[in-house]
Amino acid sequence: MGRIHEYYHATCLEDAFAKARELGSAAAYVGGGIELVLRRNAEVTTLIDLSQCGLDYVKATPTGIEIGSQTTLTNLSRSSDLQQFAGGSLAYWAGRIAHNNVRDMITIGGVIGRNQPWNDVVPHLVALGAQVLLYDGAERSMLLADYIEAKQAGAIIKSVLLPSENAGASGFMWRFTRTEQDISTLHFSSLIHTDGETVSSANLVFAGRPGHAALYPQLSQELVGKALSHTTFAKLAERAPAVVEVGSDLRATEEYRRELVHAAIVYLEEHMTGVTQ
Ligand SMILES: Cc1cc2nc3c(=O)[nH]c(=O)nc-3n(C[C@H](O)[C@H](O)[C@H](O)COP(=O)(O)OP(=O)(O)OC[C@H]3O[C@@H](n4cnc5c(N)ncnc54)[C@H](O)[C@@H]3O)c2cc1C
């Protein structure tokens, strides 16, 4: 890793972006700083601190819940707005992922900026339909699902917006880990809208495959228009292992991960029907 020569305290978004533009690949924005301490691009010699840019907030807006990029997992978990959103799944898991010491430091901007394949927050936000608000001289927004496919180099992640139309849906996360503080061998997140006892729309996301977070619209479509019944989810559990691209690494074999994909859908059924399988 390269040596850091300058730690720059930006006073606002405009100031941070101007500094980053001046230095190009020699600069990196700081969220909680955890990943930047562990590993960073060898070219980076200046860190741009965003803590004085007013980005630590969770607020309800007319279009949804906006989460500033400097907000830590601990503060996400304590937000009453997030505890109400999509059954509170994001708030619940933000208070359980990793260890409480690091949850006090990990920021939502840093999580998205790094987006490890096994990360739990990014796939859950993708399932919740999150948009990312960027600043690169002007503000613009895009779906987080699109942003993680094509990151915008140099742009500051200002915030994340959880759209209000998803507030009443059911958010769900299942992460398979060996211990509570372990990283996921397989991650599954979903958001399901229902109309009475029928599924009206669904987002299904797998991560830690060991590949990155990926949406599976073809699986989601198999749920739409179907009853919330054992038959519906049993069919999906049979089909999903053939659709989700999994592989082997040091943590698990491809075959083992296929079993986990099946298990993830069984847990989704339990969550949606309240019946233990
Ligand atoms: C021991 C340990 C266990 C963990 N376990 C898990 C786990 O099980 N599940 C899980 O989901 N996470 C886990 N994490 C958290 C995960 O590693 C985070 O992705 C990481 O900590 C990033 O958060 P940060 O705020 O520290 O990022 P930083 O190190 O500050 O930044 C990471 C990257 O994002 C960029 N960046 C930061 N903020 C912005 C911004 N506003 N705009 C643009 N770019 C930005 C930085 O330049 C850098 O490239 C764990 C972390 C640790 C240390």
Instruction: Let me know: does 44 contact 23? Beta carbons within 8 Å.
Output: no
Instruction: Please write down the long-range contacts of 114-118, taking CB distance under 8 Å and 24 or more positions apart.
Output: 114/35, 115/148, 115/212, 115/213, 116/183, 117/207, 117/208, 117/209, 117/210, 117/211, 117/212, 117/213, 118/183, 118/184, 118/185, 118/187, 118/207, 118/208, 118/210
d(CA 129, CA 96): 21
Instruction: Let me know: does 113 contact 175? Beta carbons within 8 Å.
Output: no
Tell me which residue of 107, 102, 105 sits closest to 122, measured CA to CA.
Answer: 107
- Whether 44 is in the pocket of ligand 1, judged by its Cβ within 6 Å, is no
First to last CA, the chain: 49
pLDDT of residue 19: 97
- Whether 34 is in the pocket of ligand 1, judged by its Cβ within 6 Å, is yes
Percent of the chain with pLDDT strictly greater than 90: 92
Q: What is the mean pLDDT of the chain?
A: 96
pLDDT of residue 41: 85
| 129-155 pLDDT per residue, tens | 999 999 999 999 999 999 999 888 899
Q: Is the pLDDT of residue 277 over 80?
A: no
In Å, how far are 104, 109, 155, 267 from 101, measured between CA atoms? 5, 18, 28, 29
- Whether 120 is in the pocket of ligand 1, judged by its Cβ within 6 Å, is yes
Q: CA 228, 234, 237: angle at the middle one, nearest 5?
A: 115
| 204-227 pLDDT per residue, tens | 999 999 999 999 999 999 999 999
Distance 174 CA to ligand 1 centre (A): 20
pLDDT of residue 40: 85
The arrangement of secondary structure in 6-49, i.e. its CATH architecture, is 2-Layer Sandwich (3.30)
Distance 238 CA to ligand 1 centre (A): 35
| 71-129 pLDDT per residue, tens | 999 999 999 999 999 999 999 999 999 998 999 999 999 999 999 999 999 999 999 99
Instruction: Let me know: does 169 contact 202? Beta carbons within 8 Å.
Output: no
Distance 37 CA to ligand 1 centre (A): 10
d(CA 237, CA 239): 6
- Whether 29 is in the pocket of ligand 1, judged by its Cβ within 6 Å, is yes
Class of 58-166 in CATH: alpha beta
* Domain boundaries along the sequence of the chain: 6-49, 58-166, 170-273
The arrangement of secondary structure in 170-273, i.e. its CATH architecture, is 2-Layer Sandwich (3.30)
Distance 114 CA to ligand 1 centre (A): 6
CA torsion, ordered 180, 184, 187, 189, to nearest 10 deg: 40
Q: CA 20, 26, 32: angle at the middle one, nearest 5?
A: 70
Give Cα 243 to chain centroid, integer Å: 21
